[in-house]
Amino acid sequence: MNHLDAEFVRAFEACELPPEEFHHRDHIRLAWIYCRESGPAAAGRIAASIRRYAAHLGKSEKYHETITQAWMHLVDRAVRSSPSASGFDEIVMRFPDLLDQNYLAEFYSQATLATPEARNGFVPPDRKPLP
């Protein structure tokens, strides 16, 4: 991991990253770093990290398990499909849908994502399977 990625992860995990500096692209970058660094443990690591960050901000209710795990699946797929990618920018160039916040709508209806079951645990897609 390069020093910029390491500092980004450190600041996020220490809850020092201001919320205005943590947008969708940053979520995807964190997922990419975790996939590369933690392998199969990445999904659990990001869930714990995002929950801790949300709690620190007083917004624990914002955490959504299905959304987190679905994005992790998509990022992990991109990482495994591009072992020669030199960095995050190359991954998002190869997989631009990762930067589209609405990409999950291809797989999930709003009704499914709005359920307490989807918020609190992983629910499979209801529109089409995740790739």
In a domain, 129, yes or no: no
Averaged pLDDT for residues 41-62: 96
Averaged pLDDT for residues 47-72: 97
Q: Name the amino acid, one letter, at 31.
A: A
Specify the pLDDT at position 46.
Answer: 97
In a domain, 27, yes or no: yes
pLDDT, tens only, 81-118: 998 888 999 999 999 999 999 999 999 999 999 999 99
In a domain, 91, yes or no: yes
Specify the pLDDT at position 83.
Answer: 82
Specify the pLDDT at position 72.
Answer: 97
Separation of alpha carbons 46 and 39, rounded Å? 11
Both tokens assigned to 90:
């190359």
* Rg of the chain over all Cα atoms, to the nearest angstrom: 14
How many structural domains comprise the chain?
A: 1
Task: Say which residues have a Cβ less than 8 Å from residue 42's Cβ, sequence separation at least 6.
Answer: 31, 34, 35, 72, 76
In a domain, 126, yes or no: no
DSSP secondary structure of 1-64: --HHHHHHHHHHHTT-S-GGG--HHHHHHHHHHHHHHHGGGHHHHHHHHHHHHHHHTT-GGG--
In a domain, 106, yes or no: yes
In a domain, 125, yes or no: no
The crossing angle, in degrees rounded to 10, of helices 42-56 and 3-13 is 50
Specify the pLDDT at position 85.
Answer: 83
pLDDT, tens only, 9-36: 999 999 999 999 999 999 999 999 999 9
Specify the pLDDT at position 84.
Answer: 83
In a domain, 69, yes or no: yes
Residue range(s) defining the domain that contains residue 58:
3-120
